[in-house]
Structure 1
Amino acid sequence: MPDEVAILRSLGFAVFTPRVLPRGLEGRSTAIEQDPDDAALDLPPETRAVLEAFPFYERRWTPTLTSILNEHFEAVVTAFYPECFSSAIQHFQGRVIARCFGREGTANYRHWTSAWGLPDLEDHIEQAGERYIFGQAYPFLAEVEPPLNARHAFTLPLVRPGWVDARRDSWNGAGGFVLLNIPLIGASPYYQPIYEGAKATFAGVPHRIFGHQPRPVADPSVIASPPDDELLNLFASCSAFAYTSSEPRHLHYPPVEALVIGAPVLYLRGSLLDRLVPGLPGGCADLAEMRAKAEALVGGNTTLAAEIRAAAPALLAPFAPEAARAAWANLLGVRS
């Protein structure tokens, strides 16, 4: 959010971001702006108070909120949450940009909107016409979507995380371990088998696993929710970052953060990273090859590390701020 909102502001837009996070997602991919630039909105104090108090992710828009948004805003960027998505589609008169970052396997976003059981929602999407934008972070998301989303698809690239730039290219690899990111161990039917597979793959290879863990994990290799400085140190000191996800249309942030730091990043062929830039040396045909490369890197294979790291600029190019800014400017009709 910080990087994307900054891009919108750099294009000349005043931006309001919600102040009330959805319950139950603490410690995950949620954030509140610490120093929001609300002065640029030029709104009466009572109007701003309504916006700041409203739980956008958990309540349907009220008539008062609807009136405020239609009077003062040109576009709404919405997540795929039932309340905010359906409210924007049904009540907002400007452009509605449904921001999406990919789902697991062959699942698509229509599966979600259909499961909500909201009558006439698809009719409202149809009626929105060109005002509705399926704002995919990668060009592959629409390939599994029905025409209702696919024909409105517009690629708004995920921008690399600016918070790690202060430690850009600080990798030293002195730690002698493989780093992985696996959240919600023991708490998620999606991540539990990923954890078990990673433990089997890297058995006997020094490794550390970080991520948000709502439950204690009886594994000394797991580091639950490390502070930012500690996480940056892990990226810098690991021998390799191993990203074991095979998802073709979804990507977590940590491999991109690791690339910025300069760590050798290993990932699977056919996964989203490989689809974005195929054929690079960090790609692995399977987990066995990933283990073999990880063992070599932990063992001090500087030639392999140099080959993988040399490809990092190509792998980071799709996440360049310039690419994201140009896409947003194109969508919103702004000369960038």
Structure 2
Amino acid sequence: MPKSFPYDEGNLSASVDFSRDATLTIPKHELDILNEHDFYNGMTPEVAEIANKHFDVAFCAFFPRQLAALVRNFRNVIVLRPFGLSNGQTYTDITINSLGYYFMHEIERRQGTFWFGQAYDHLAHIETGVFKRRAVTLPLGLQDAHVSHIWTGTDPRILFVCPRINTSSYYKNIYNNFQRTFAGLPYIIGGAQPIPVSDPNVTGHLSNDEYGRVMREARLMFYHSQEEHHLHYHPLEAVRVGMPLIFMAGGMLDKLGGEKLPGRCSSERQARQKVERVLSGDKRFISAVIKSQSALLSAVSLNHCEPIWRAQFAKIEESIKAVDRDNSSPGKRRSRVAVFLPLDFRGGTLNAAKMTAKMLKLGAERRGDDIDVVFAYLDKSIYSKSDFVDLEELGISMRRYHWKVISGSELASIQKLSGYTTTPTEQKYLLPVDHAYDFLDCDFWLLATSSIEQPIVPLRPYCVFSQDFLQRYFPSPWIDYYENGTIQTARTAACVFASTPHTLEDVVQYVGIPRRKTALVPLAVDYSKLKTADEGSGLEGRSNYFVWPTNAAPHKNHLMTLEALSRYYQVQQGALDCHVTGVNSQLLDPDFAADESKLTKHVKEVRAYLAAHPALKQRIHFLGDLPDEEYASVIRDAQFLLHNVVMDNGTYTVIEAAYAGTPSLSSDYPPMRYLSAKFSLNVEFFDAREPQELSGKLKYMEKHWHDHRSRLPNREELERFSWETTASEFYGVVRPFIW
């Protein structure tokens, strides 16, 4: 029984009971951890480990986040405990709306250890899918379900329970309808009121003693509900003390045996008439109501409930045995995860996506989990088999795919085939097509970058690795192309990951993701392509150039850099050439043959600037996207590395340069400050908006690069952040969603 719960209006009457803790065999230090944890907002790995060790079955009331935490973290049997909803609502629909359509797949995966433990035997009739198939009836009981005859009726008022009048439109309507129906009659209204009600007859929250007194003394209780799938406790409590209960027909009380009771009312007019009879002291009618309504207690009595619980719990016990069999059969439970590279990127984005797949694979192996990892990349000619040799060596399979745009109605049809009816919120979605299973044979999807043209189809649980949200800082190139797809895909994800605090804040503040659905994953670097770079090459091995890694994207601040370079060579008499490398960086070279119609406005401006400054052009050498060994050699032999953007998630090239013994000069923005501090890189910074400052810093680095090099961390220190080292930590963050 949780001892911590959210402090909100839905829990104002909640209480905590420690009285049974002394009977438990759980070690005190573990019990303390459980008691201090808020189970309504998820489960930490530590709490999950304790719960899995000590409990075979977890009962869970319908709190979506609590249910999601159990499904993703509790490895034994889960019994969802639904007590019914208002008319027109289903648990299936609310679960999909709260946790996403794909969450139903998560429950389906473990349906052998999941039960819909309904409190009334008709609740599952309106459900679909796993909630309907896995229904067991565990009837709701009431302690001491017999009439105590302690009612006195000395307070000549109607007792009506209606909480949250000023904070819930649902209860406000009930209150207004009550006042209209019983206008002019004396009443008292109980129930917690977060915002006080001006009506003096509304008491607000009552203590147990006060509530007991009101139940004994009020002349009658009126129960309004005509909900077919939900029942409050207070009408049964009224019957238990012997108070006359006047109630509306068509609700749950009918199903408990109330259809022929004299207290039942088929209309509001009839309800007023019967209430007036009780208030006026009609002894014969009052006696008939009290005597007959005791039948309502039989359905919630121990004698009725216990045999049903014992019979139904036998099914749950079989699930416990199935869990035990699974746990004793290594390798029986497997999970397949698809890591998607959503765009045809090379360079750092490709490397980051591959690292994600490799860390999942290695982290799972170290944990002892059986996971198949699939790396999905777009079917484009820019990729060759050699790009994925390192993945194959780890046992990661590759799949080519393409995106297919489908409509919301097409998505609804696909979802209906799996047993659930939904109303998609978007007009268009992207479906990954591999001409086999379209990745529906995978249990979990992970998008290695958030850049995607349309929202991804929510057919499987998925998370998004957000590298950055450049459209927040450079809206014009990306606003129409990526904005909706990026934001809606992130908002529908089970979780959004980021590797720097700044990007994580963008996820929360710009995209609007609740912080509880985000996670900061460890920084990780793949040093494999730099192994050929000789750390001991020394000062004499350095060539007279610095290296500028970049690409053709507009956020790379090319024109400002070129203006600074012009000043560096003309005013500062700079001695070092500039070597440019990176994916599509050759497009910036005006001498490079390119289809002008396919070049962006930004690239054309860069080419025009260089063409107009031939002296500058002579000092800049465009190397393009280099093979790993050549890239390592260029980085190793440079005197320093130049990095200039206004904003992104930070570039790992400065880390790679440090690994090769090369210091860096970078524009100053939060993710780069974070990388420099995290890796102890001692990066020299400049203002990305000030070309004059950059030209001066270039001259400074020309003279002092060797001093900066001497303050770089050694390879052993940097290896602490290799993907191999951080794989276990990364997998620990992702595991709750995929296993």
Question: Which residue in 2 is equivalent to 1:135?
Answer: 117
Question: Which residue in 1 is equivalent to 2:252?
Answer: 272
Distance in 2 (alpha carbons) for counterparts of 1:257 and 1:65 = 36
Question: Which residue in 2 is equivalent to 1:6?
Answer: none
Distance in 2 (alpha carbons) for counterparts of 1:290 and 1:299 = 14
> Could you tell me which of 12, 30, 33 is aligned with 1:47?
30
Q: What letter corresponds to residue 120 of structure 1 in structure 2?
A: Y
Question: Which residue in 2 is equivalent to 1:3?
Answer: none
What secondary structure does 2:110 align onto? Answer: helix
Q: CA deviation at 1:101?
A: 0.9
Q: What letter corresponds to residue 303 of structure 1 in structure 2?
A: R
Q: CA deviation at 1:120?
A: 3.5
Distance in 1 (alpha carbons) for counterparts of 2:78 and 2:294 = 33
**Using a 3 Å threshold, how does the CA distance of structure 1 residues 161 and 194 change in structure 2: closer, same or farther?**
farther
What secondary structure does 1:208 align onto? Answer: strand
Question: Which residue in 1 is equivalent to 2:86?
Answer: 104
**Structure 1, unaligned stretches of length 5 or more?**
1-16
1:83 paired with 2:65, answer: yes
1:20 paired with 2:1, answer: no
Scaled by the length of structure 1, the TM-score of the pair is 0.87
**Using a 3 Å threshold, how does the CA distance of structure 1 residues 192 and 25 change in structure 2: closer, same or farther?**
closer
Q: What letter corresponds to residue 284 of structure 2 in structure 1?
A: T
Quick check: 1:21–1:32 contact (8 Å CA) kept in 2? no
The structure whose RCO (Cα within 8 Å, separation 6+) is larger is 1
Q: CA deviation at 1:199?
A: 0.4
Q: CA deviation at 1:331?
A: 3.1
Distance in 2 (alpha carbons) for counterparts of 1:279 and 1:168 = 23
1:290 paired with 2:271, answer: yes
Question: Which residue in 2 is equivalent to 1:64?
Answer: 46
**Using a 3 Å threshold, how does the CA distance of structure 1 residues 28 and 100 change in structure 2: closer, same or farther?**
farther
Question: Which residue in 2 is equivalent to 1:243?
Answer: 223
What secondary structure does 1:98 align onto? Answer: strand
Distance in 2 (alpha carbons) for counterparts of 1:326 and 1:31 = 29
Q: CA deviation at 1:274?
A: 1.4
Q: CA deviation at 1:119?
A: 6.5
Distance in 2 (alpha carbons) for counterparts of 1:243 and 1:306 = 18
Q: Which has the larger radius of gyration?
A: 2
Q: What letter corresponds to residue 33 of structure 1 in structure 2?
A: D
Alpha-carbon deviations, 1:272-291, whole Å to 9, x = none? Answer: 11122122111100111111
Quick check: 2:13–2:205 contact (8 Å CA) kept in 1? no
Alpha-carbon deviations, 1:86-127, whole Å to 9, x = none? Answer: 121233232101011111112011122111234732112112
What secondary structure does 2:81 align onto? Answer: strand
Distance in 2 (alpha carbons) for counterparts of 1:153 and 1:324 = 16
Q: CA deviation at 1:23?
A: 2.5
**Using a 3 Å threshold, how does the CA distance of structure 1 residues 26 and 269 change in structure 2: closer, same or farther?**
closer
Which segment is superposed worse, 20-29 or 129-138?
Answer: 20-29
Q: CA deviation at 1:45?
A: 2.5
Alpha-carbon deviations, 1:255-284, whole Å to 9, x = none? Answer: 111010101101111111112212211110
**Using a 3 Å threshold, how does the CA distance of structure 1 residues 26 and 91 change in structure 2: closer, same or farther?**
closer
Q: What letter corresponds to residue 121 of structure 2 in structure 1?
A: P
**Using a 3 Å threshold, how does the CA distance of structure 1 residues 199 and 289 change in structure 2: closer, same or farther?**
same
**Using a 3 Å threshold, how does the CA distance of structure 1 residues 27 and 67 change in structure 2: closer, same or farther?**
closer
Distance in 1 (alpha carbons) for counterparts of 2:210 and 2:32 = 37
Distance in 2 (alpha carbons) for counterparts of 1:79 and 1:57 = 10
Question: Which residue in 1 is equivalent to 2:56?
Answer: 74
Q: CA deviation at 1:62?
A: 2.2
> Could you tell me which of 68, 77, 96 is aligned with 1:114?
96
1:146 paired with 2:133, answer: no
Which segment is superposed worse, 117-126 or 139-148?
Answer: 117-126
What secondary structure does 1:76 align onto? Answer: strand
Distance in 2 (alpha carbons) for counterparts of 1:178 and 1:170 = 17
Quick check: 2:9–2:194 contact (8 Å CA) kept in 1? no
Question: Which residue in 2 is equivalent to 1:11?
Answer: none
What secondary structure does 2:311 align onto? Answer: helix
Q: Structure 2 matches for 1:217-228, cutoff 5 A?
A: 217-228=197-208
Question: Which residue in 1 is equivalent to 2:607?
Answer: none
Quick check: 2:138–2:309 contact (8 Å CA) kept in 1? yes
What secondary structure does 1:239 align onto? Answer: strand
Give the alignment's Cα RMSD to 1 decimal.
2.1
Scaled by the length of structure 2, the TM-score of the pair is 0.41
Q: Structure 2 matches for 1:162-181, cutoff 5 A?
A: 168-181=148-161
Question: Which residue in 2 is equivalent to 1:7?
Answer: none
Q: CA deviation at 1:26?
A: 6.5
Alpha-carbon deviations, 1:3-35, whole Å to 9, x = none? Answer: xxxxxxxxxxxxxx1111123146545331141
Distance in 2 (alpha carbons) for counterparts of 1:29 and 1:226 = 9
**Using a 3 Å threshold, how does the CA distance of structure 1 residues 246 and 261 change in structure 2: closer, same or farther?**
same
Alpha-carbon deviations, 1:275-319, whole Å to 9, x = none? Answer: 221221111001111110000110010111111111122111111
Q: What letter corresponds to residue 93 of structure 1 in structure 2?
A: R
> Could you tell me which of 302, 306, 314 is aligned with 2:287?
306
1:31 paired with 2:15, answer: yes
Distance in 1 (alpha carbons) for counterparts of 2:7 and 2:204 = 20
Distance in 2 (alpha carbons) for counterparts of 1:148 and 1:27 = 29
Quick check: 2:111–2:130 contact (8 Å CA) kept in 1? no
Distance in 1 (alpha carbons) for counterparts of 2:192 and 2:56 = 36
Distance in 2 (alpha carbons) for counterparts of 1:34 and 1:47 = 15
Q: Structure 2 matches for 1:176-255, cutoff 5 A?
A: 176-255=156-235
Distance in 2 (alpha carbons) for counterparts of 1:234 and 1:29 = 17
**Using a 3 Å threshold, how does the CA distance of structure 1 residues 27 and 43 change in structure 2: closer, same or farther?**
closer
Distance in 2 (alpha carbons) for counterparts of 1:140 and 1:29 = 28
Q: What letter corresponds to residue 245 of structure 1 in structure 2?
A: S
Question: Which residue in 1 is equivalent to 2:370?
Answer: none
Q: CA deviation at 1:329?
A: 2.5
Question: Which residue in 1 is equivalent to 2:717?
Answer: none
Distance in 1 (alpha carbons) for counterparts of 2:137 and 2:201 = 38
What secondary structure does 1:57 align onto? Answer: helix
**Structure 2, unaligned stretches of length 5 or more?**
318-739
**Using a 3 Å threshold, how does the CA distance of structure 1 residues 204 and 307 change in structure 2: closer, same or farther?**
same
Q: What letter corresponds to residue 116 of structure 1 in structure 2?
A: S
1:123 paired with 2:105, answer: yes
Distance in 1 (alpha carbons) for counterparts of 2:282 and 2:22 = 53
Q: What letter corresponds to residue 32 of structure 1 in structure 2?
A: V
Alignment: residue pair count: 315
Question: Which residue in 2 is equivalent to 1:5?
Answer: none
Quick check: 1:161–1:257 contact (8 Å CA) kept in 2? no
Q: CA deviation at 1:143?
A: 2.0
> Could you tell me which of 285, 290, 306 is aligned with 1:325?
306
**Using a 3 Å threshold, how does the CA distance of structure 1 residues 26 and 102 change in structure 2: closer, same or farther?**
closer
Which segment is superposed worse, 254-263 or 22-31?
Answer: 22-31
